[in-house]
Amino acid sequence: METNQLYLYNSITGKKELFEPINNPYVGMYVCGPTVYGDAHLGHARPAITFDVLFRYLKHVGYKVRYVRNITDVGHLENDADSGEDKIAKKARLEQLEPMEIVQYYTDRYHANMQDLNVLSPSIEPKASGHIIEQIEFIERIIKNGYGYVENGSVYFDVLKYNEKHNYGILSGRNIDELINNTRTLEGQEEKKNSFDFALWKKAQPQHIMRWNSPWSVGFPGWHLECSAMGEKYLGEVFDIHGGGMDLKFPHHECEIAQSVAANNKHAVKHWVHNNLITINGQKMSKSLNNFITLDEVFSGKNALLNQAYSPMTVRFFILQAHYGGTLDFSNEALLAAEKAMARMCKAFDVIDKLVISNTSSIDFNSYKKRCYDALNDDLNTPILLAVLFDVVKSINLIKEGKETIDAVNLSVLKEIVSGFFNEILGLINQSSVSTKSNSIDTLMEVILELRKNAKTNKDYATADYIRNKLSEVNIKINDTKDGANWFIE
């Protein structure tokens, strides 16, 4: 089966393109990770899960993937246009902690959320503050090539100069003239030649405690720079995929492109992939709009916007039910529907091991398998994949009811579909078996002891022995006392 036929939408060309690694079988992928100054919310789950599925699928088809997802722990200012307080430093000031305590605390919590959502660890998870030298050296190249200027200890990127030879706006479609007209002048912008220039290095104000020596001042790097520097360090000057949320297209990714072109005279990224946003009442869910629900709140149900708690697997299923390129509106109804749909699917998968194997199969599961690959190869279309899996569910139920048949070969393909697409690639975990089973043992043992009593009454010792032997396989021991038989787990 031809599996390496993945077509991915490329945000910079606006087309679905066949994915071909620069250096087959190696794939380099960089995704913008969280700024760790608060708990992750539902909106953060979407890029995490989207690129987790891409990471899983690329590995599944045989590529050796180096997946870099950063932690932003310095330089992300409250106002994206280079002014305001550093987000981490502000939280540290409010909580009277060292900024790196804030970083550690929220990084740990982010990791716990990711683990709950069954999002795999990236291959490398670099922190911005751990790559100051790399960022300084990146700035030096930009200055040397004439695209950066120093003003009062800070370094800015000269957008107009860059736009003379290159195209600032190539990703986001922004037009430089529009930018000139629309950019407000914010406090602290006086040092810039133009208000849409962006900071590569900021001289630290006295109260700013995250600071390092540099050739220009004691200061800190601009937010956009870390991704260019760390992407290059770990994936090379040119790499395959750069992902992130659609809200990062401008200014963040546009600036990344400009930085790499200014430093190396070439684009760093071959394939830009952007997930769309989670909305709530039609608005982007975000920290700055204060309309967010944290993942912990979703998992516990503790938020006035929630009718109930939703498990991490429900959230994952909910997100996969939409194509990553479209918006996804939060609602209790949609999450509840996801919960029910996933339960229905899991229930069907639970009976696979108990299906009766016939000599012939009335259903061809290989055709389902092909449709699964087709769905993913068509720009990672997870809703279509889930629809195919629901067709599989229907077939399982018909086989269970004796209306269709399955043979051993097709059963093994069916198991491959579930373990491959449901578990391995979509990263879903069937938790139905765990929860419902545990307290039915007592009832089953009650039945078995009753049947054993009957067998003994009928002097059918073969059956009594059979029972004792089977149970000992699972460490259950039966004790005969004068008041009857009881049992315990050894």
For residues 408-447, which are near its own copies according to CB under 8 A? 432-447
Pairing of strands 219-221, 484-489: unpaired
Answer whether 38's CB lies under 8 Å from 287's CB.
yes
Answer whether 224's CB lies under 8 Å from 239's CB.
no
User: Would you say 459 or 482 has its CB closer to its own copies?
Assistant: 482
Q: Which position among 5, 84, 118, 130 is part of the footprint of its own copies (CB under 8 A)?
A: 130
Per CB under 8 A, which region of 183-191, 238-246, 296-304, 349-357 contacts its own copies? 349-357
Strands in 63-173 per DSSP E:
64-69, 77-79, 83-86, 148-151, 154-157
User: Would you say 263 or 280 has its CB closer to its own copies?
Assistant: 263
Comparing CA positions, the residue from 133, 268, 246, 254 lying closest to residue 198 is 254
Token readout for 82 is: 């280079």
User: Residue 126: CB partners within 8 Å, gap ≥ 6?
Assistant: 68, 70, 71, 230, 233, 234
User: Would you say 139 or 246 has its CB closer to its own copies?
Assistant: 139
Question: Which residues in 250-289 contact its own copies (CB under 8 A)?
Answer: none
Tell me how far the alpha carbon of residue 10 is from its chain's centroid. 19
Question: Which residues in 5-24 contact its own copies (CB under 8 A)?
Answer: none
Q: Which position among 44, 131, 192, 323 is part of the footprint of its own copies (CB under 8 A)?
A: 131
Answer whether 91's CB lies under 8 Å from 37's CB.
yes
Question: Which residues in 55-94 contact its own copies (CB under 8 A)?
Answer: 66
Residue 354 makes contact with its own copies by CB under 8 A: yes
User: Would you say 121 or 175 has its CB closer to its own copies?
Assistant: 121
User: Would you say 178 or 460 has its CB closer to its own copies?
Assistant: 460
Tell me how far the alpha carbon of residue 398 is from its chain's centroid. 34
Residue 374 makes contact with its own copies by CB under 8 A: no
Question: CB of 336: closest distance to its own copies in angstroms?
Answer: 16
Per CB under 8 A, which region of 95-103, 180-188, 313-321, 334-342 contacts its own copies? 95-103
Answer whether 96's CB lies under 8 Å from 407's CB.
no
The Cα 218–Cα 112 span in angstroms is 35
The Cα 314–Cα 25 span in angstroms is 34
Residue 474 makes contact with its own copies by CB under 8 A: yes
User: Would you say 100 or 186 has its CB closer to its own copies?
Assistant: 100
Question: CB of 481: closest distance to its own copies in angstroms?
Answer: 4
Ramachandran area for residue 357 (φ above 0: left; ψ -120 to 50: alpha; else beta): beta
Question: Which residues in 378-407 contact its own copies (CB under 8 A)?
Answer: 400-402
Q: Which residues of 133-169 are buried (b: 16+ CB within 10 A; e: fewer)?
A: ebbbebbbebbeeebbbbeeebbbbbbebbeeebebb
Question: CB of 474: closest distance to its own copies in angstroms?
Answer: 4
User: Would you say 261 or 467 has its CB closer to its own copies?
Assistant: 467
Binding pattern to its own copies, positions 213-252, x when CB under 8 A?
x--------------------x------------------
Question: Which residues in 156-215 contact its own copies (CB under 8 A)?
Answer: 212-213
Count of residues interacting with its own copies (CB under 8 A): 77
